[in-house]
Amino acid sequence: MTAPFREASIDLDAIADNVRHFRRLTGVEVIAVVKADAYGHGAAMAAVAALSAGATRIGVAEIPEALELRRQGVHAPIMAWLHAPGERFEQAAAQDIEVGISSFDQLEAAATAAAVDRPVGVHLKFETGLSRNGIAPADWGRVLAEAARLERIGRLRIVGLFSHLSNTSAEDDRAALAKFEEGVAAAASFGVHPEIRHIAATAAAIDLPEMRLDAVRIGVGLFGLSPFDDRSSAELGLRPAMTLRGAIAAVRRVPAGTGVSYGYDHRTDRDTTLVLVPLGYADGVPRNASGKLPVSIGGRRFVNVGRIAMDQFVVDVGDTPVSIGDEVVLFGDPTLGVPSAADWADAADTINYEIVTRIGPRVPRRAS
């Protein structure tokens, strides 16, 4: 049987299993983070799989992502926390999307979007040391006083208080938690009592139990990838959800000294067989991993040779028998003997998050 030309197979059972794992591990609510098209896995189907396994809320970065999930039939609570300057929240409010608030101006915009019988759900974000978005400590009093007033008059519903950790060290993260707790105490002094408090993403949810609070935001762990350099997915009890595949598009027997791909960065050192894999940097294959990228063909591991091009790359399989149409597994679950996203990240000097997220739109996602 001929393999798919190019395809990312998404194991929805793995996503569901990973949610159940984090629910057991943490004992708190799981917010399934499906921003950036679920780290390349397909946002709607990943969200549905996560919710089926007990996730209580969906998290995305931007409101357009949340609106698309609504269009695709996801009815669970959704929060979005990164907004364009001057962004208006009427569309979000109309679709019952909760918005992260990082400034007084955003708070006012949320209140403006409320209807008489429809307060806007908000999560107030405190800046606790990451130096990104979030309400600065100097502004906490002003924002909290106004948020409390707007909740009393029915313009807002304060769903959550949250922040974001740097994952630099346990000491740094505990300092951020202490700052966050100052914000929570300040909120209480103004009569703000949220439904949930959340600060931990995947790494802190695993390693720092005191960070779990009322809910954890699980992103990369949802898809079975490890947030750590020194521990694999399997060691964490997670199952990778994405397998990237292609089919051999051409087979060529060549003599020693044959140049391969642009610039002839590689020349064969013996008579050998070269195969063409029809994915390239347009599909998210990292060009800077040229000559180092592992793949699996027929259950054996090989490394690409020559430069990775926009649409394709070449693998030297030696004397291994291969045919056009044979399957090439680029990465997947390493417990099955194939390269992992972490292996690709090592080859490209990056992180596994980037490897899966950068897989391009020419690669169909297929639920499995």
pLDDT digits (tens, 9 = 90+) for 77-108: 999 999 999 999 999 999 999 999 999 999 99
Q: Is residue 235 part of a domain?
A: no
Residues 249 and 181 in one domain: no
Residues 205 and 299 in one domain: no
Q: How many domains does the chain have?
A: 2
Residues 6+ apart with CB under 8 A from 223: 14, 15, 18, 38, 39, 41, 46, 240, 241, 242, 356
Residues 172 and 265 in one domain: no
Portion of the chain with pLDDT greater than 70, in percent: 100
- Domain CATH code at residue 255: 2.40.37.10
Query: What is the predicted pLDDT for the residue at 2?
Result: 73
Evaluate if residue 163 carries a pLDDT over 80.
yes
Task: Give the global pTM.
Answer: 0.96
Query: What is the predicted pLDDT for the residue at 336?
Result: 96
Q: Which of 193, 224, 255 is the last residue of a domain?
A: 224
Evaluate if residue 115 carries a pLDDT over 60.
yes
Residues 282 and 345 in one domain: yes
Query: What is the predicted pLDDT for the residue at 146?
Result: 98
Q: How many Cα atoms are found within 13 Å in the side-chain-facing hemisphere of 306?
A: 23
In the set 35, 39, 125, 281, the catalytic residue is: 35
Q: Is residue 229 part of a domain?
A: no
Residues 22 and 137 in one domain: yes
Q: Is residue 22 part of a domain?
A: yes
Q: What sections of the chain are H helices per DSSP?
A: 12-26, 35-39, 43-52, 63-71, 90-94, 104-113, 140-152, 170-189, 202-207, 341-348, 352-357
Average pLDDT over the chain, rounded to whole?
Answer: 97
Q: What sections of 294-351 are H helices per DSSP?
A: 341-348
Query: What is the predicted pLDDT for the residue at 167?
Result: 94
Q: Are 240 and 329 in contact (CB under 8 A)?
A: no
Q: Is residue 142 part of a domain?
A: yes
Residues 27 and 110 in one domain: yes
What sign results for the dihedral spanned by CA atoms 43, 48, 52, 57? positive
Task: For residue 139, give the 3-state DSSP assignment.
Answer: helix
Residues 211 and 250 in one domain: no
Evaluate if residue 3 carries a pLDDT over 90.
no
Evaluate if residue 1 carries a pLDDT over 60.
no
Q: Which of 179, 194, 224 is the last residue of a domain?
A: 224
Q: Is residue 315 part of a domain?
A: yes
Mean pLDDT, rounded, for 306-320: 98
Q: Is 6 annotated as a binding residue?
A: no
Q: Is residue 4 part of a domain?
A: no
Residues 195 and 81 in one domain: yes
> For residue range 269-303, what is the model confidence (pLDDT) as tens digits?
999 999 999 999 999 999 999 999 999 999 999 99
In the set 39, 125, 179, 262, the catalytic residue is: 262
Look up the domain containing 18 and give its range. Answer: 12-224
Instruction: Give residue 213's identity as a one-letter amino acid code.
Output: L
Q: Is 310 annotated as a binding residue?
A: yes
Q: Which of 171, 196, 224 is the last residue of a domain?
A: 224
To the query of whether residue 125 is one of the catalytic residues in this protein, the response is no
Evaluate if residue 143 carries a pLDDT over 70.
yes
**Phi and psi of 328, rounded to 5°?**
-120, 120
pLDDT confidence of 4, banded at 50, 70, 90?
Answer: confident
Query: What is the predicted pLDDT for the residue at 278?
Result: 98
Q: Is residue 236 part of a domain?
A: no
Residues 246 and 319 in one domain: yes
To the query of whether residue 35 is one of the catalytic residues in this protein, the response is yes
Mean pLDDT, rounded, for 223-232: 97
- Domain CATH code at residue 171: 3.20.20.10
Residues 220 and 288 in one domain: no
Residues 44 and 192 in one domain: yes
Q: Which two tokens stand for residue 311?
A: 């649409």
Residues 193 and 67 in one domain: yes
Q: Is residue 111 part of a domain?
A: yes
